Amino acid sequence: MSLAEYERLRPLGEIEEFLSCMMCGESRQQPLFTPTGGKGWRYHVVRCPSCGFLYRNPNVRPERLGDLYATGYSNFLTGKYAANRQRRYDLTMKAFAPVFDEGKERRLLDFGSGVGLFLELAEQRGFDAYGVDLSPESVEQANERLSKARTYFGAPQDVPEIAAGGFDVITLWSVLAHLPRPLEDFRRFRDLLAPGGVLLILTVNAHSLLLKAYGSNWSGFTKNHLMFYSSETVRTLLGRCGFAGVAFAPHYGDTIEAGTTRLPAELVTRLRRNVELSDGGNMMRVLAFADEEAIGRWGGGPLTVHRLHA
């Protein structure tokens, strides 16, 4: 249906706006899902009939994004959730070794750094590490946790130490789905990377078999998620923002990831290969290469690098 027809069907919240597809500009909408939560939240997810991109519509206006994280969000990032995140960090850094093996004299930016759990690991590996986040509570807790790394409240362009750029690594741990203007953000990330730099993404996978099975009850539809990517739409995003290449590593959820630590290496390899061939897992691990220098430096070994075009 047309965007005008769709707008007549949906109420518009105080902090919301209607969107056309961010990936291709298509204004037509295909309504698909209506996720709901136990605390009364509810939103609508549409599919772009041209490129297949899934996104929340109506969506949150960029200038009101901070409303979602103003209070209480840091509590969500502790306890059992923190343990799961630490496991994700460890497994993903292994998947994309040697990018994270040695951080000495290398600058790292963790975008959406939360309470500083990953920055703590980056410190330990020798990175000159920085973070930014929209939750003031999280920023305060992170800086209490960290010894050398530093995290800031706001956007990268608002912090002189970060706006200067020159980062060798930028990380987005479960952040991509929270961005209301991904093209603007990723063009900025590309500008912040040094020659030979890479950007790491961990995000829910909109091509997941679990989404097909659970529909509106899919675990990827959480309260603050705004947009939902497949490997195809991630390639579109990165290509339009000037990245030279991308590699993917399958991720099949915290429970299975934890369980495979007890399996023989040969079985783990076979399982991961099967997941990669089917849907890539319920989440995606993505490594984006800023330029040809980055591909030459980090794109070898088991990684398959897909070249990108604007």
pLDDT in tens, 57-78: 999 999 988 888 766 555 555 5
CB atoms within 10 A of CB 28: 16
Q: How many CA atoms lie within 13 A of 80 on its CB side?
A: 2
For the four alpha carbons of 287, 292, 294 and 298, in that order, the dihedral sign comes to positive
Find the mean pLDDT for residues 93-110.
89
Find the mean pLDDT for residues 80-91.
74
Would you state the structure tokens that stand for residue 292, as one six-digit string?
């040809």
Say how far apart CA 8 and CA 146 lie, in whole Å: 49
Say how far apart CA 101 and CA 294 lie, in whole Å: 16
CATH second-level architecture of 3-60? Single Sheet (2.20)
CA angle 197, 203, 208 (to 5 degrees): 130
Residue whose token pair is 């969506």: 59
DSSP code, position 178: G
* pLDDT for res 81: 60
Res 263 pLDDT > 70: no
* pLDDT for res 291: 97
Residue ranges per structural domain of the chain: 3-60, 71-204+231-307
**DSSP-assigned beta bridge partners for residue 151:** 131
203-249 tens-digit pLDDT: 999 998 889 889 999 989 999 999 999 999 999 999 999 999 999 98
Res 103 pLDDT > 90: no
CATH second-level architecture of 71-204+231-307? 3-Layer(aba) Sandwich (3.40)
Would you state the structure tokens that stand for residue 254, as one six-digit string?
């915290």
